[in-house]
Structure formats: C-alpha cells, structure tokens
Structure 1
C-alpha cells in the first residue's frame, strides 16, 4: 500500500485487492475531525451506503466497507475505485482551466448531481478537492459522507457544527436550510474558480459566511474576458443568493452547459439554417391596410435523435428518424405582420423565421409570396 491522499476524516491509500486482482483506493478513518468517534464511523458508513447505491460513470464506485483490527486498534475503512488522476483542487493550483476542460468537467459534475438528486440526495460538499479529473475519461465526484437524504434518520450532522466547506456553501446552508439547489450554488462556486483561477469569495470562515450571505463576487468577465455571455449568465444564476433565482435542477444546468459547448466550442463550424418559402392569400382590404396572420409552415429542423446535423455529415445507418440526413420535418405556426400596400405577387422576406441554424449558426429566412384575392 502507498498513501495517495489525506483529509480531515481519513487517509487514502492505493492498494491491491487480491480477491479480484485489481487496484483499489482504501480510505481509512483517522483523527477526530470535530465529531465523536461513533459519528465518524456513521459518516463512513453513510458514504459507503450512499455512493454504493448510485451507479453512475461520474460518481466514484464503492466496493466494500468494514472495520479491521491493527496494532490493537480498530479502524473503519472504505474500499473504492482507484482513480488514476488528480483532484481538481490540485490542477487549479496551476491556474484556471481552458474553456473546453471547464465545460467538460462541469458537465460531468452536473450529471453526477442529477443522478444523486433524482435519488433524493443532496451532496452538500461539492468543491474542487471532491472532484477527480481522470487523464482519459470523465471527471468523477467523490466523498458522499455528509450527504443529506430525504430520510432524516440518516442525517448525521451534529448540533453546532458547520457541515460543509464555507468557501463553497450556499447562503441558506449557514442557517441549516438546504436542498438540491444548494449543490447547484456550490457548483457555481467551482465553475467560477475553474474560469477565474480564484474562488468567488476568500477569507476566514465567518468572513466567508458574510460574503456568501450579502456580497457579490468580482465580475467574472473582468477576470476571464473570453467567457461566453451564456456561461457568464449561468454562473451568475448559480450564485444567486435566493435558491428560487437559481436553475431549479441539475438537469437544466447540464442542458445549458451542453448547449454552450455545442454553440461555442464544437469542432463543427456554425451553419446557417435553410430558407423557407411559403404563400399567403389576402383580401384586397388586408393588402391595402396591412394585417397580422398566422402561417402554418413545414420546414427542416435538426434531428433531435442524432448528431449528424451538428457534425455536418450524413450517415444513413446512424439514425432511423432522419435516415442520416440530419434533419426532420417540423410543423410550426408563425405570426406574421403584413405591411400595408402589398401587391399581387410581391415577395416578403422575414429574417430569422426559416429553419434554425446549428452550432450557433443563424436561422434562415422565410420568404412569403403574396396573392391578393378579388
């Protein structure tokens, strides 16, 4: 065995499990950490039960939990998947991440949180040291030891003890009120740090509490000017003091991050949507005075079941919904204002009402040919 990490509640060792011939990480309970010994063991047991019950590629896999006697002393231990990478906190010591790595990491953490939240669990300690970056794989969330579930019988917090890491805690957590949106605030702190290379707030514990409750962090764009506006807006929403002003689910955040990645950092270039042609029949009075009509049009739309539209390629074998064209037919209604004085056969160009673009490309135009009745 060789040591690979330490924390307030344990040491982590790299070891070999001869039963299944695999390399594992063994977390051994050590130190008081501010809690009574029985509560420490309960924290370990909770981490084993919670993380062990979550099967997700962005959450560390738990293999075993138990206790063993060594040199006359009983030790609790947790056997988990060995992650051959570095913690995000270690990586951030060298400065902010590039934009692509930031989005990839945030997407993995958000996906892991979505799985936990769907299971009725709040992590409560999302921070860089609990996020592992693998050299050739997704980021993984670790340490579910202070997770809060919907069953209060499993809550092991102690009265008068601040549970979590103040630099990443949501304002409501300091009064003991939290839910899944508190994890999203912590994610906002981590996302800010990945982009800016510094935490949104710094200082002593109680100074941090005041800042989270009452102050705003330095503007992200002043520290990372190349941040896409949509990403800046997302971080701002995640760091909202009021939980109701934040995104309401990890799934929503995951979708936003994916859209930002596709729009700004996809390898495929932006593509403008197709133009669409339609006709409209007006009475003489409508043509003379102008009117507002509703057009029902059919036009192409990027196929939601495959990535061919984003990649700009055709692969008939890849998708039965669009036969590899990357597009499907979409029926939609469009409200159109017809100006006064239009003539028979006149063609109106309505910018941006055609087919939607891909990878941030502009939408096409809608060309409407006017026919005037008698």
Structure 2
C-alpha cells in the first residue's frame, strides 16, 4: 500500500469512512451549537451559584461549594427537563438526608451506619419517579454521615440549602439565556430520512432502466439505503420528541414561526411509507436477482414500473407544504394509471398465451407485478392524505 493511500472502515450503511472522518464523527456531536451554549450556561450558572452561596449568612455560607453542583444538575438541554431533573434531585437529596438522620439517631455504630446508608439508600433509589434524583439518595445519606459527622445538623441544612440555591440559579439561567428549541434539528432529521428514501427509489428506477441485466455478484445498489431507512426514521422521531419537549414552557415559541405541526404530519407519513419502500426494494430484488425467492416480472411492465417509482420518489421528495406537491401527485397518478394498464396487459398476455395456463400454485408467478403496483399506490395515498390533513 502506498503512503498516500488511506484505509477506511465500512459502516453498516455501506459507506466508507477514513480515520479522519471517524474522529470527526466522534468529536462533532460534542461541538454542536446547542451543546456549546449549554456548556456556557453551565459555567455561568455554576459561577453565579458559588458567588451567591458564599453570601448566605452564618454557617450556611461555609457550604457554598455545593451550590455549583446544584446548578450543574439542574441544567439540561430543555426547560421542562431541567425542572423535572431539579425536582427529582431535591427529592432524592431529601430522602438521603432523612435516611441519614434515621441512622444517626439509631443505636447502630458508625461503621454499620455507613454500610446501611449506602445499602438502604440504594434500595430507596429504586423507587419509581425519582429519575435523576435516584443517584443522590445514597450519596446524600453517605455525605451526611461521613462528612457531617458530629456537625451533621448544620451540614444537612447547608447541603440542602446550597443545592437548592444552585438549582434555582441554574433554572433561571436556562430560562433567561436562549432556552433551546430543537425544531431545526427535528426538521433536518426528517429531511435526512426523506432523502434516504428518495435515493433508494431513484436507484431502483435506474436499475430497472439499465440495459445490462444485473449479475448475482452485483448486489442491489439500494440495499444499504434500505438497511438505514428504519434507523433514519427512528432518529427523526427521537429528534421530534426532543423538539416537542423543548417547546414546553419555552418563551421563544412566541416568536418562533416554525411549522412544528407540519413536521409532525410529514414524519408520520414517512413512518408509514418506510416499510413500503423496503417492501418495494425486496420485491425488485426478487424480480431481478431471484433473492430470496425468484419472482417473475414481465418485461413489458418494467418501463412503466420505473416511471411509477420515479414519480413516487418525486412525491416523497416534495415537502408537505412544497408547491411542487400538487403537480407531483398528478404525475404519480398518471404513472400509476399507466402501470395498472401494463399490469393488466401482462396478465392478459400470460393468460392468452398459446394453450398456456398460469400456474396458480406458484406464488412466484406474478407476470404483472401486482404487489409492486399496490405498494406504489400506498405511497401515493399516504402523501395525498398528508397533504389534505389539517395538521400537515
């Protein structure tokens, strides 16, 4: 291998990544704009909480180093998640401190109290609804017993008050400094899933139009896309959930005009279309490669089928509010009509062949490709329904 050659690794979707690209793919998620903003807000909140905590009167100010921790645990990417995690953390702290005091007033010796604080705290952490706060039940109990010691009373109050102060500061910082909205990320996820489907459909139509017949050693070019379609749709759904969560109690939604309901309708349509695209790819693999079972596809149908698949790709490619959608629906309707005629003609020719009767016992005998026609009609119907839906 020459010195200029760079080895790459094949991903599950069939693409090749160089070492530099793999490092970039590993590092870039940590450098996304919303995460950089979150890091800035955490730094601001922790500093402010530590400063304010040191101003508390009496011995409360001696525990100001817990205030930045409270700010840290309260800051999450979305406002509602911040509120939820903050409440869960404070509840977990309260349970842990309460457990520690039960052990302090009990006759259990110190070593046994330490073991019980960790063991019983871990059991209490299994209570439903604690969420992020479950980790702080055994920690708080252990801190009060070990660090608090003879001064457990002041430590317990200072620990809880400083954490609560930090939580409050973190929530205010998250509210006042650009609370994130993930609607753009959600829209980008939908676009990526749609592009994957369009690419797979285009590849299928190109293969049907190819003059050279595919060989067994030349696998379908759309296989890698079909493997990734479900992953892309699931990822888009996860981004959609994040976007919906980020909108709750977020003041930025008042001036953000993004059509979130339209995104929801578009994604719902893609979720219904995804298995249909996979089904079409499997049927064409059977027709052209005989994998996993041989399927007979009449030659006269292929041209009409390629046109119909191209029209379906245009439908999927057009956004729900795209001005091209109406024309794409008309083109798809015409292509499906031509494909339906070709299917009927193929069956008529098969049934009228000189003395030949179709083999009804052979499920692979599908001279007209009714399954493919039905699948393409499903795509058309889903897009048409999405266009008419008031939520799209």
Same fold (TM over 0.5): no
Structure showing the higher strand proportion among its residues: 1
Return the TM-score normalized by structure 1: 0.22
Return the TM-score normalized by structure 2: 0.21
Which one has more relative contact order, counting CA pairs under 8 Å at least 6 apart?
2
